[in-house]
Structure 1
Amino acid sequence: MIAQAQLQLMTPQDYLEWEEQQPIKYEYINGEVYAMTGGTIPHNDIALNLASAFKNHLRGKGCKVQIADAKVGISTKGPFHYPDVMVSCDPRDQKARKIIYHPCLIVEVLSPSTEAFDRGKKFKHYRRIETLKEYILIDSEKMSIECYRLNERNKWELTSYSLEEAADTQSELNVEFTSINFQCPISLVYEDVVFPEESIE
């Protein structure tokens, strides 16, 4: 999903000006740019389901919900990424037109080509955002969600939600998004998603 573009090292300002002229989106890390390629239909369904739920919950509460075309800046010098979904309730982002700098929640929908990057280097970048309270990783191949939350000791804690857990309790599993005071059934996150074993391709 991410392929390095063969270009010379760019300054952050060069990147921002250059990317506006490009037909596709590019992420920016340490002077290098990486082309963003298209995701799968399940990937898109999950992001849309969550963004819609967040938008309904946060309507009128001074928060902005963004999907994949919105860029997040770790700082004004980068790195710059395109999360699948993010939420900012920070007044400094309310009139942003190009870049969000103060999100409280970021969601990445995992795919085989980007999973290692989303779990590793990208999360390392995101942890530098002072306003970030929650980082969500969602598996697009099975019902499994990992929520990393900043606790009162300023450490990141992992809470996992999976279909296996729901089977153990014999009840609908609710996923909590504590940074925006919201919870929903895991089935809502995966509504209309076709898993590999169900596919006719």
Structure 2
Amino acid sequence: MVAIQEVVKLSPEEYLTQEETNSVKCEYINGEVYEMADASSDHVTIAGNMFFVLKNHLRGGDCRVYIADMKVRIDSLNIFYYPDVIVTCSQEDRALNYYKRSPQIIVEVLSDSTESFDRGDKFADYRQIESLKEYVLISQTKKRVDLFTKQDNNSWQLTSFDEGENLVLNSINFTCAVSSLYEDI
């Protein structure tokens, strides 16, 4: 006979308290906690490059950019994720220290182990965020960026950008060379 281990579910408050002292980042999906895998050097470099170009563009404005350690809370689904980079222009988000509720842009750097989740279930979850206008997926294996843009009818349009092209994020009037995201790779 095999013993079945009971899964202990945490409340959002218990999860947030645990995350303050955790040495490992964990995402939270409807009461269950999932440890995040370590990121590769290329992953961290690409995310850092994206943060850098966005930070320079947004400097002095109303929007804020956050990297890696800032959670996004999806209240309707009882979820907390750690995107690689987020941009929020919400005044309410400024008062929240450990997570943001109203990102306008979410960026994920793809890895072999997370790509299908980032493109599938995680993107479906992110689409529940009313404020989200653009979802950016950056490949580690080829110099390509996929941009999903929310349309007026709430559908999402995919545009891909390759090396030699410019990534355009219309919601914040931003343009950068795709090659700049791969600097030092």
| Cα distance change, pair 156–77 in 1 and its aligned pair in 2 (3 A) | closer
Which segment is superposed worse, 41-50 or 10-19?
A: 10-19
TM-score by length of 1: 0.85
Give 1:37's aligned residue: 37
C-alpha root-mean-square deviation of aligned residues, in Å?
1.5
Q: CA deviation at 1:13?
A: 1.7
In the aligned structure 1, how far is the partner of 2:153 from the partner of 2:63? 26
In the aligned structure 2, how far is the partner of 1:49 from the partner of 1:101? 24
- 1:185 is the counterpart of 2:177: yes
* Structure 1: stretches of 5+ with no match in the other structure: 1-5, 164-171, 194-201
SS of 1:141's partner is: coil
Q: CA deviation at 1:76?
A: 7.5
One-letter identity of the residue aligned with 1:147? L
Give 1:124's aligned residue: 124
4+ residue segments displaced more than 2 Å: none
Aligned length: 180
- 1:66 is the counterpart of 2:76: no
Q: CA deviation at 1:96?
A: 2.0
Give 2:167's aligned residue: 175
Q: Quote the sequence identity (%).
A: 46
Give 2:107's aligned residue: 107
| Contact preservation (8 Å) 2:150, 2:156 | yes
Give 1:97's aligned residue: 97
| Contact preservation (8 Å) 2:76, 2:128 | no
SS of 2:21's partner is: coil
| Contact preservation (8 Å) 2:85, 2:106 | yes
SS of 1:104's partner is: strand
In the aligned structure 2, how far is the partner of 1:149 from the partner of 1:141? 23
Q: CA deviation at 1:153?
A: 2.0
| Contact preservation (8 Å) 1:63, 1:94 | no
| Contact preservation (8 Å) 1:12, 1:77 | no
TM-score by length of 2: 0.92
One-letter identity of the residue aligned with 1:151? Q
